[in-house]
Structure formats: structure tokens, C-alpha cells
């Protein structure tokens, strides 16, 4: 299956019906072919609104969840963004269309290597991918205007809160990994942090340390 006009139309229709309404987000998702981030047997299902397995026992998120999380970041095109949980690289690729610069980290070296290859193929030159434990953020590149975490922690990790610029926004799932989690948005103000709850979600857990294969 290819991401032709018909597939794009259905893909965007499904996104809209799930509440992804921001035009710039829909355009980015129409442009970036999710099929490039899914390999093997599951390529056939790349344009369905469902999470799919990727190597290292991880998952590429459901497109509508990618859309809603991206929308919640309220990007203008000028931001420096950190994504924790590169996975397939799909979410980072969407962010690259809507922000100035994207840093993305994963604890699996193999996933980072494969994502980098796809970024090169698609000529997405404003993404830098690292193998790192993202719960510590990326102190050398901080502060960030936006932070997106695509693995669930019980609470927002302290280093990530600290690396968010004043006026910045972080979107992340919180809650126990085997239960339904809540997607929350944290806005850093002069006085502290404001929290609002967006919707229930289900993500793989944020795990400490680099993976053994790394």
C-alpha cells in the first residue's frame, strides 16, 4: 500500500474525526509518510489509526494520538523541542515540520540508528537523535521551548521540568504503565508550573537507564 491521494484522504479523515483539527498538524501528517517508519508485516497497516509494533518490543503511537499530542504543544515554527522516546522516529518527523529544531532521544541504540536512517532518507535535517536515558533530558541542549514525552512515567521527571523554558509547554502521559494513563500538559510560568489534563492514553513505560542492547 502506498501513501497516495486516496490513502491520505482517509488518513486525514480519521485524524479529524478523532479531534485533530489544527490545519498545520494535519498538513504535516499528510506530508510525512507513516509507512516509512513501519517495517515488515505491519507496513500494510501503516495508514490505519492504530499503534503498531516496532523493533525492541516498542510501539509506534496511534496517528490520532500523535496528532493530538502535537496539537497540544501549540507550535509556531520557532521552537526548540525535545522528544523523549524516539521509537520509530515518526513523531519526531511530524515535529520537524512544525518546529525549528527537534532533539529526540531513546534508550535503545538500535531504534535511534534506524530512525536516523529514515530522517536522512526523508531529508529531515533539523532532527538530532541521541541514545540516552531521556528521563534526565538533555542538559547540554536545555532549555527547551517544548518537551514531548512518548513513554509513561508515574510523575513528570524533575530534570524535564527543570529543562523547560519559562513560558514553555511539556506534554506527557503519566500513570502506572499497566493501567490507563492520563495525558497531561504542563506549562511553566514565572511562578511555577500549571497542569491540565487532556485525555486518557496508553503508552509503554518510561524505563530507567540505557537498554542492554545499547
Give the bridge partners for 131, in sequence order: 106
Binding to ligand SAH by residue 201, rule CB under 6 A? no
Size of the site for ligand SAH (CB under 6 A): 23
Grid cell digits, residue 3: 501513501
The answer to whether 97 contacts ligand SAH (rule: CB under 6 A) is no
Report d(CA 59, CA 31) in Å as an integer.
21
6 or 120: CB nearest ligand SAH: 120
Q: Does residue 156 touch ligand SAH according to CB under 6 A?
A: no
- Could you tell me if 104 and 129 are in contact, meaning their C-beta atoms sit under 8 angstroms apart? yes
CB 58 to ligand SAH: min, Å: 4
Interface with ligand SAH (CB under 6 A), residue from 107, 116, 146, 202:
107
DSSP state of 80: E
What angle is formed at CA 208 by the lines to CA 202 and CA 209, rounded to 5 degrees? 135
Active site residue 76: no
Give 88's contacts (C-beta < 8 A, 6+ positions apart): 37, 38, 54, 60, 111, 114, 115, 118
| Active-site annotation holder among 24, 61, 76, 96 | 61
The neighbouring-strand residues paired with 81 are 102, 146
In the structure grid, which three cell numbers stand for residue 139, read together?
542538559
Q: Is 207 in the site for ligand SAH (CB under 6 A)?
A: yes
Q: Among 91, 96, 163, 181, which residue sits at the site for ligand SAH (rule: CB under 6 A)? A: 91
Active site positions, annotated: 61
User: Using CB under 6 A as the criterion, which residues of the chain lie in contact with ligand SAH when the complex forms?
Assistant: 58-61, 84-85, 87-88, 90-91, 105-108, 111, 133-135, 150-151, 204, 206-207
Amino acid at each position: 500500500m502506498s501513501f497516495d491521494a486516496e490513502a491520505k484522504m482517509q488518513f486525514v479523515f480519521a485524524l479529524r474525526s478523532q479531534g485533530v483539527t489544527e490545519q498545520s498538524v494535519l498538513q504535516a501528517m499528510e506530508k510525512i509518510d507513516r509507512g516509512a517508519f513501519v517495517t515488515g508485516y505491519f507496513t500494510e497497516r501503516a495508514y490505519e489509526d492504530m499503534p503498531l509494533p516496532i523493533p525492541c518490543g516498542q510501539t509506534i503511537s496511534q496517528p490520532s494520538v500523535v496528532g493530538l499530542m502535537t496539537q497540544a504543544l501549540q507550535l509556531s515554527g520557532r521552537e526548540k523541542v525535545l522528544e523523549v522516546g524516539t521509537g520509530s522516529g515518526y513523531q519526531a518527523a511530524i515535529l520537524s515540520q512544525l518546529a525549528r529544531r527537534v532533539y529526540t532521544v531513546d534508550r535503545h541504540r538500535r531504534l535511534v540508528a534506524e530512525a536516523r536512517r529514515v530522517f536522512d532518507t526523508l531529508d529531515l535535517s533539523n532532527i538530532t537523535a541521541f541514545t540516552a536515558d531521556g528521563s534526565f533530558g538533555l542538559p547540554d541542549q536545555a532549555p527547551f521551548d517544548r518537551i514531548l514525552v512518548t513513554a509513561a512515567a508515574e510523575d513528570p521527571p524533575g530534570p524535564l521540568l527543570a529543562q523547560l523554558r519559562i513560558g514553555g509547554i511539556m506534554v506527557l502521559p503519566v500513570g502506572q504503565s499497566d493501567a490507563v494513563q492520563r495525558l497531561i500538559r504542563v506549562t511553566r510560568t514565572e511562578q511555577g508550573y500549571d497542569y491540565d489534563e487532556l485525555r486518557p492514553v496508553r503508552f509503554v513505560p518510561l524505563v530507567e537507564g540505557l537498554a542492554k542492547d545499547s
